[in-house]
Amino acid sequence: MNPIKEGFIQSGRYQFFYRNIGQNGPAVVFIHGIPTHSFLWHQVMTFLGDRYTTIAPDLLGYGQSSRGPIEDLTLHSQAQHILSILDQLGIEKAHFVGHDLGGGIVQILAVNNPERVISITVADGVCFSNWPLPTVVSMRWPTAPEFEPSPLIIQQMLRVGMHNQKMLTADIIEAFTSPFKTPEDYKALQLAAGALEHHETQVLVPHLPFITAPTTILWGQYDRFLPAYWGLRLHQAIPNSRLRILPNCGHYSMLDNPQLFSNELISHLQQLSAIPNVIYREIQPSISLTWKPQLELYKESSAIRAGLGIHPCIVPGNNTVTNRES
């Protein structure tokens, strides 16, 4: 098993924290949403690390990356930050995997920067005008304690968003809440929530039929935040896209069933295996974290997954992969 590397990348006036597993294949860039950070992809990266160069940065304003003004926290700005990070790592093209806000970011990249995109995977992503979520909007002007940005609201979003509650361990909760524990951190989360406007994906709609990058759409069957209907809409809008509904998963399908999510992602990537490898320039990690070691988390989650079982993916009205022809 490849070790996880963690460090910071300086890009302009900001520092971006990132995680990396593997340096032996095409680059796969994982992009999280709100209120999570790069730890979201920890287990999926473990599954892929032997075959791919997997990289997961913390977006600006999230996790351990720098905080920034609201104009630098929009999805279009975050997309440019991602490309800047890849420039620093020496990566010209990559597969992009985005969840929640990250799903909107990968759509932006596919539309505006197709020359940098090998393929995209949207996992329970924002699209059209289906966001921001009411919980996120409530953080902008909290009129009650339960709406105030805090570790509690992050934990609540994780609990509501996950279908398999046994997978939401104390260590995972700690990993996601630990970057937001001071009043300054709460203000940063509130600022990040204030930067989100659905027009950023709405303006992409006329361009979605012209996306040429191979596209897979993964959606949790029990997503309470962004129902699977939106995955179907996105599938219908992007020619030749592939839609998979992940059974017994919620909004955080990569946490509900990491192996199932990883298998679907690997299937998507293997269809593109003819593309030459894209290797990145190694940057040595500049810090070490105190979160639970990768191997311990992997063993813990594997034991839980064994009790849950692995189920085939389903698509409404059809038990096979669907493809929309242009």
Q: Which two tokens stand for residue 276?
A: 């030459």
Q: Which two tokens stand for residue 195?
A: 């930067």
Q: What confidence category does residue 60 fall into, taking pLDDT thresholds of 50, 70 and 90? A: very high
Q: What confidence category does residue 216 fall into, taking pLDDT thresholds of 50, 70 and 90? A: very high
Residue 326 pLDDT exceeds 70: no
Specify the pLDDT at position 284: 47
Residue 325 pLDDT exceeds 70: no
Residue 219 pLDDT exceeds 70: yes
Residue 33 pLDDT exceeds 60: yes
Specify the pLDDT at position 273: 67
Residue 91 pLDDT exceeds 60: yes
Task: Provide the whole-model pTM.
Answer: 0.86
**How many CA atoms within 13 Å lie on the side-chain side of 192?**
26
For tokens 């839980």, the residue is 304
CATH homologous superfamily for 4-132+198-323?
Alpha/Beta hydrolase fold, catalytic domain (3.40.50.1820)
User: What are 99's strand-pairing partners?
Assistant: 123
Burial of 147 (0-12, 13-18, 19+ CB in 10 A): middle
Residue 295 pLDDT exceeds 50: no
Contact 107, 83 (CB under 8 A): no
Specify the pLDDT at position 24: 83
Residue 317 pLDDT exceeds 90: no
Residue 85 pLDDT exceeds 60: yes
Specify the pLDDT at position 301: 40
Helix (H, G, I), strand (E, B), or coil: what is residue 212? coil
